[in-house]
Structure 1
Amino acid sequence: MNTINVLVVDDSAVVRKVVGEMLAAAPGIRLLHAVSDPLLAIERMKQQWPDVIVLDVEMPRMDGITFLKRIMAERPTPVIICSTLTERGAETTLAAMAAGAVAVIEKPKLGLKDFLNDSADELIAAVRAAATVNVRRLGLRAAAAAPLAPAPAKLTADAILAPAGEARTPLQTTERVVAIGTSTGGTQALEEVLTALPRVTPGIVIVQHMPEKFTAAFAARLDTLCQIQVLEAKHGDRVLPGRALIAPGGKHMLLRRDGAQYCVDVIDGPLVNRHRPSVDVLFRSVAKNAGANALGIIMTGMGDDGAAGLLEMRKAGARTVAQDEESCVVYGMPKEAVKRGAVEKTVTLKAIDKEILQQLQGR
């Protein structure tokens, strides 16, 4: 395993200490520096350029967004945003994602010791994933990719929803639904797909791995850019043509049949595949309640969340599509789905909107 060199940039001394110690203790990760602002970071980067940067967005002297844009212009590098869980912070963080950041980790204002205990695995996994990004997609001139560490034991979708019975297949109706799952690199990918769709589309349900509150700002931003309506899902929301529902961060989202129509349940529950919302949970519910009326799409992201659920969808008669390796920021989730035989068709990012529109006519 290649060593991943990490630079932490945060104006909080406590955060620098906690996150720095967390990263320094992780096998295969080396903390280069932990500095208080971007100007100091620029000086350190003249000595040695990091493989991954963990960056706050609100800092003195130079804000994180300005620093991020400068990095991407000079020498594109994987950046993980570590931001406080506020509405304003969510909007700023989304601007950072649009500027090229690859992941978001929520940072509490209080209780950093709890943050260390609860989020260490998440942050370390994000750093490892960032080090494996598709360097061509980011426009990197140089980056050392490190393989993902073996994943710890994790819950499956069984923790939320029992598998579909072998004999029970949902009846086909004229109501179509599209289920999308994505993670690292997904905010930019989803924007490209959803903004390409016309006003008349099948109903869409989406899981994007993202913390609480960030999904609301993400959905609101997409809603201003898209012809279709984009909303953060609420319990009981209808899945309607021309509408995309994004699972709220910190909650699982399930598709439910209501006569010939569909709606969503938004529920609490344990992490599944280390995520809440989980793509596997959504896809399993779609397999059980929509079957051949559905299209499942798995897009860029680390890990294997969604692979098992997409296979269940395919076995239930749904069409299944994966984003191709060349257009993924991280070819983890689609790769695992392909390996398990869950994928009927692999397409480029630019072709996904066409697959969605085909769903209007059925198979």
Structure 2
Amino acid sequence: MTIKVLIVDDSALIRSLLSEIVKSAKDMFLVGAAPDAYVARDLVNRFSPDVITLDIEMPKVDGLTFLEKLMKAHPTPVLMISTLTEQGANATLRALELGAIDYIAKPKLGVAQGIEEYRQLIIDKIRIAAKSKVKPATKQKSANTATLNYTGTEKIIAVGASTGGTEAIKEFLLDLPSNSPGVVITQHMPPGFTTSYAKRLDSLCKINVIEVKGGERILPGNAYLAPGSYHLLIERSGADYRLRLADTPLVSGHKPSVDVMFNSLAQCAAQNTVAVILTGMGKDGAAGMFSLHQQGSYTLAQDEASCVVFGMPKEAINLGGVDKVLPLNAMAGAVIKYLHSVNAGSRL
């Protein structure tokens, strides 16, 4: 299958570089490179591209406005071209809410050289996007009013995700009650993006959401997000569970890695862990979830129908490390039901 790609960017340099990258891939065909939303609209109507790369900052009509209209009129897998700034991160997160599949971060130094270094990443992400499911724009909803008879620090909920995960994690956390057991999260994101993402989640959820700095004690009513470029580990410290960051090599191709987080839990808190693996490309988290499952953790995976990309959950299922496979909208309810059944914990 040949993937029809449309590039939308106001920078002639970026258009040229991305065009060259797309043309270098034998399984891709460049249908056009548009400098603005109006040209892009015409090309979408003419060629119905399989994947669009879209700049956020454009003249006349900005990328977010174009994306919102595109998803209503002609839903298409979109990769955002994002800057690694707080403003760029916030705009990218909004784009993911509107239905974009993923994003490609612009290199900070030497645009031409940086894009060349990202060549394989860009090609891979276009291929992933072409196979992904476009989800409708998500509407903010009030956090679930479900309650949990839980006041302890014994249980830990661990969540891992990648492509499509920012929205999946948001939906999962919105459905957790304010006194939920502590939640640890690894989502594949670069530095800066995790800072903005944690703030965004914190403003929406009943539980508090923070980006991990290191040394935090895991407490109920709080979610702890691994920062970009650091692995998140959980360790036993006396009667407590505490968080540690590790600046060590990539694992399963990622940093932070879901496998690192899951494996650390397998070593110190397996029987007290509820592990959840959500949408994402690749196999990160599958081996770690299998280890947790073998040692008594309750493990859940998102089903194919509700995933943007059914990669990580599928790998975990195939390894035999999953107790239940559920749609995203049933995941939090299943976790709460399980915690009720085991009477959670009572140690503070």
Q: Tell me the TM-score normalized by structure 1.
A: 0.86
Quick check: 1:77–1:138 contact (8 Å CA) kept in 2? no
- Counterpart in 1 of 2:302? 323
> 1:131 deviation in Å?
1.0
2: CA distance, partners of 1:336 / 1:124? 22
2:169 is equivalent to residue 179 of structure 1: no
* Cα distance in 1, alignment partners of residues 117 and 299 from structure 2: 34
Match of 1:226 in 2: 205
Match of 1:68? 67
Residues 240 and 337 (structure 1), Cα distance of their counterparts in 2 relative to 1, 3 Å cut? same
Cα distance in 1 for residues equivalent to 2:28 and 2:269: 44
1:33-52 superposed matches below 5 A: 33-52=32-51
CA RMSD, aligned part only?
Answer: 1.8
Whether 2:34 is the aligned partner of 1:55: answer: no
Matched, 1:245 2:210: no
Q: How far has the Cα of 1:200 moved from its partner? A: 0.5
1:146 is aligned to none
User: What is the rounded CA distance, in whole Å, between the counterparts of 1:49 and 1:3 in structure 2?
Assistant: 13
Figure out how many residues of one structure are paired with residues of the other and give that number. Answer: 328
Q: Is the 8 A contact 2:283 2:316 kept in 1?
A: yes
Q: 1-side partners of 2:86 and 2:230: how far apart?
A: 17
CA displacement at 1:138 relative to structure 2 = 4.7
Return the letter of the residue paired with 1:87: E
Alignment of 1:77-88 (within 5 A): 77-88=76-87
- Give the 3 Å change call, closer, same or farther, for CA 84–97 of structure 1 in structure 2: same
**What corresponds to 2:147 in structure 1?**
none
**Alignment check: 8 A CA contact 2:175 2:333 kept:** no
Q: Is contact 2:98–2:136 with CA below 8 Å preserved after alignment?
A: no
Q: Is the 8 A contact 1:209 1:275 kept in 2?
A: yes
Could you tell me how far apart the structure 2 residues matched to 1:26 and 1:276 are? 27
Residue 251 of structure 1 deviates from its aligned partner by: 1.7
Preserved CA contact (<8 Å) 2:271 2:297? yes
| Cα distance in 2 for residues equivalent to 1:109 and 1:10 | 17
| Distance in 2 between residues matched to 1:185 and 1:259, nearest whole Å | 37
Does the residue aligned with 1:239 lie in a helix, a strand or coil?
A: coil
Using the TM superposition, give the Cα deviation of residue 174 of structure 1 relative to its aligned residue in structure 2, in angstroms.
Answer: 5.9
Note the alpha carbon deviations across 1:33-52, whole angstroms, 9 max, x for none.
Answer: 22221111112223201101
Match of 2:275 among 274, 285, 296: 296
Equivalent residue for 2:182, pick from 186, 203, 228: 203
Aligned to 2:93: 94
CA distance in 2, matches of 1:22, 1:353: 41
- Over 3 Å off, 4+ runs: none
Q: Is the 8 A contact 1:53 1:78 kept in 2?
A: yes
Give the % identical residues: 47
Separation in structure 2 between the aligned mates of residue 66 and residue 37 of structure 1, nearest angstrom: 12
Task: Give how far 1:306 is off.
Answer: 0.8
1:1-363 correspondence runs (5 A): 2-134=1-133, 137-138=135-136, 175-357=154-336, 358-359=338-339, 361-362=343-344
User: By how many angstroms is 1:315 displaced?
Assistant: 1.4
Any unmatched runs of 5+ in structure 2? 138-151
Q: CA deviation at 1:237?
A: 1.9
Task: Rate the CA distance shift 1:31–1:272 in 2: closer, same or farther, 3 A.
Answer: farther
